[in-house]
Amino acid sequence: MADKQTELLQGTLDMLILKSLGLGPLHGLGISRRIEQVTRGTFHVKPGSLFPALHRMEEEGWLSSHWGESENNRRAKYYQLTKTGRRQLESETERWGRISLAIARALEAS
């Protein structure tokens, strides 16, 4: 499925991270796996992109984090949405809905 992977558009990563945390806290690898799962393998987020985005989003106040144990008993940093992050998710979802609708219309035009 590697040949079907697509490069993320600017701004898409934030929305996908926020969306993946909408159901509850996850550690970095869990976020990456969830994004790959919900996009059916279209997007694979590498650590070099994911962790800077997580840190930036935490600085923005969209995420909070705490240390915990992963499913394989290793120490891992878990991220979760804050109230501000939930509002940002709503805003990003609306924005991307408008963008995708506009692109779909443009592709249908002859």
CATH for 2-108, options being 1.10.10.10, 3.40.50.720, 3.10.20.30, 1.20.1260.10? 1.10.10.10
Q: Residue 1: what pLDDT?
A: 43
Q: Within a 10 A sphere around the Cβ of 57, how many other Cβ atoms?
A: 22
Q: Residue 8: what pLDDT?
A: 64
Spans of all domains in the chain: 2-108
Q: What is the pLDDT of residues 54-92, one digit of tens each?
A: 999 999 999 999 999 988 899 999 999 999 999 999 999
- pTM for the predicted model, two decimal places: 0.86
